[in-house]
Structure 1
């Protein structure tokens, strides 16, 4: 068995996430306290009690999701003796890439929390509310080629690109509002169904360049070490171990495509991964993995029972 830990991105947050881990494990409580201290905010109280609209704010959701993921991996290590270095690779969806790097010891937990707070704020600042849009194109025949054709139609009147290639049947486009609307019309002509996403900014498109510039400055001053397990990066869908390359690719990721389908294809193919463990809130990635890699197993890890069952299975 070859194992990869994967880490969820924005959209997996929910009020109450991580509360049962904190009740059950001292290691999880330590993670939540360290994140609270790093941000000088009772983020854990917001995570467990809401209100939901505050938790959903990008600047809160990003560090909060990372905190749950790290509570899972720290608990696995301290309570069950299962470190991230047991995995052949790590990967994360968008902000989950930071969670993966923190879990693998590449960036400290406190630095990761602060970087994600800045990342959320910078993304929000990059484009005025209402000027950008994102849409998920879904359906059996929806693939990246269809999405690129739709985005090209939108790009005739403004910025519009494929932002997330999640899996066949689920591709997200992002850009200027009018351009995305044009792309939706084209996608529907081509047979896809479009769902407009309730997001505060158009992530993973060139409109995010101001946020990428802010992250470049912040990452230049951050300590980045070689991860204990190689990271399969969003922007290349290939493994990376060198700290300077990781630093550069985290900047590129702000405006670049999340190549999640290609990442899963590489892990299950050349990477030889047969088992995926989704460390953190929800089970969105496990669903994507089952569609992309039907021969692999995918296990969500976000409750004490999940962790205990996973530990026994190894």
Structure 2
């Protein structure tokens, strides 16, 4: 098997997401209905119609992105008549996408994933008062110089690398002033551009510890099975299958570095040649060749994408 399924994180949401899947496939409609019922919220209507100001709220965006990813997987399995394990050798997800990956691999029920992500979003938002934290994308810089820039910029505050996305794209997170200082420190180390991101909280840094604690408590109450194919964990950049260890990594992930570049490189070392991105947007499939020019990225987010994929899978 030379293919892995990967699942997008926050930022890929958009009004209208999943609408074409819902119109084309009963399997997708069933997923959206299950998520709505689990949350006691008409999230699918918000996804279809907006307003965008509500959809981008972390507590809505996270379960919405998982819902679209799981709709794609449900269509692949039911329309194609192929279980996920026959289509992919590994799964991985960027940040919240790790929950989508676990649900796709049968380790987590869709309803449980939706409730966990709702709580995750709420807890992340509550962890830091609005305006105190920030995140910034640094372009044209690699992990180590970005980490050095963060050390220089901290000055008693928190700032750290949150995402190592690969292809010279690194995201930093922390106190707003420290993040702004890190942008300047990174430019002195060759960063071509640094820009603040339109996010509501500083994800994947130690300011998120209250959210990590909330997720640890929540995960204790949720059953987790062994995934049907190995998960490449964000904080390990290596595969993991034992349910207790997966829960621990999900907690660590809230404050930890998303090691996406290394995760992709690990999958290549295991024989993976193509990453198929299941869900909204094309962020991860777009990053693949920037990380490794010998690998391919494929986006599966429309009925046409899925039908074309099933003809060749």
What is the TM-score when the length of structure 2 is the normalising length? 0.98
Equivalence map 1:98-177=2 (5 Å): 98-139=99-140, 142-177=141-176
Aligned to 2:274: 275
SS of alignment partner, residue 195 of structure 2: strand
CA deviations on 1:138-186 (whole Å, 9 max, x unpaired) are: 02xx100121111111222311110000003100000111111111110
In 2, Cα distance between equivalents of 1:77 and 1:28: 11
Deviates more, 1:74-83 or 1:302-311: 74-83
What is the CA–CA distance in structure 2 between the aligned matches of 1:126 and 1:288, rounded to whole Å? 30
Give the match's secondary structure for 2:103: helix
Indicate the residue corresponding to 2:89 in structure 1: 88
2:244 matched residue in structure 1 = 244
Equivalent residues in 2 for 1:29-44, closer than 5 Å: 29-44=29-44
The structural deviation recorded for 1:243 is: 0.2
8 Å CA contact 2:94–2:260 kept in 1: the answer is yes
1:70-124 C-alpha deviation (Å, 9 max, x unpaired) = 0000110001123221211000000000000001110100000000000000000
Does structure 1 conserve the Cα–Cα contact (< 8 Å) formed by 2:167 and 2:287?
A: no
- Per-residue Cα deviation, 1:216-254 (whole angstroms, up to 9, x for no partner): 000011000000110000000000000000010000000
SS of equivalent residue, structure 1 residue 225: coil
Q: Which residue of 2 aligns with 1:225?
A: 225
1:79 aligns with 2:63: no
Q: Paired residue for 1:199?
A: 199
* Structure 2 stretches lacking a partner, 5+ long: none
Match of 1:7 in 2: 7
Residue 229 of structure 2: SS of its match in structure 1? coil
Rounded to whole Å, the distance in 2 between the matches of 1:239 and 1:190 is 33
Q: Which moved more, 1:182-191 or 1:113-122?
A: 182-191
Structure 1 residues 172-191: aligned runs within 5 Å: 172-191=171-190
**Helix, strand or coil for the counterpart of 1:266?**
helix
Give the 3-state SS of the residue equivalent to 1:46 in structure 2: helix
Aligned to 2:210: 210
Describe the SS at the equivalent of 2:137.
strand
Kept after mapping to 2: 8 A contact 1:157/1:178 = no
- Give me the CA root mean square deviation: 0.8
Report deviation, 1:190: 1.7
Q: Is the 8 A contact 1:36 1:42 kept in 2?
A: yes
Structure 1: runs of 5+ lacking an equivalent: none
Residue 134 of structure 1: SS of its match in structure 2?
strand
Alignment partners' CA distance in 2, 1:145 and 1:198: 25
- SS of the residue aligned with 2:277? strand
* TM-score normalised according to structure 1 size: 0.98
- CA shift, 1:276, in A, is 1.2
Instruction: Give 1:67 shift.
Output: 0.2
Query: Partners of 1:125 and 1:36 in 2: how far apart?
Result: 23
C-alpha deviation, 1:294, in angstroms: 1.4
Task: Report the Cα distance in structure 2 between the residues aligned to 1:154 and 1:95, rounded to whole angstroms.
Answer: 28
Question: Does the 8 Å CA contact 1:82/1:311 hold for their aligned counterparts?
Answer: no
SS at match of 2:13: coil
Q: Deviations over 1:182-211 (max 9, x none)?
A: 111101122211010111000000000000
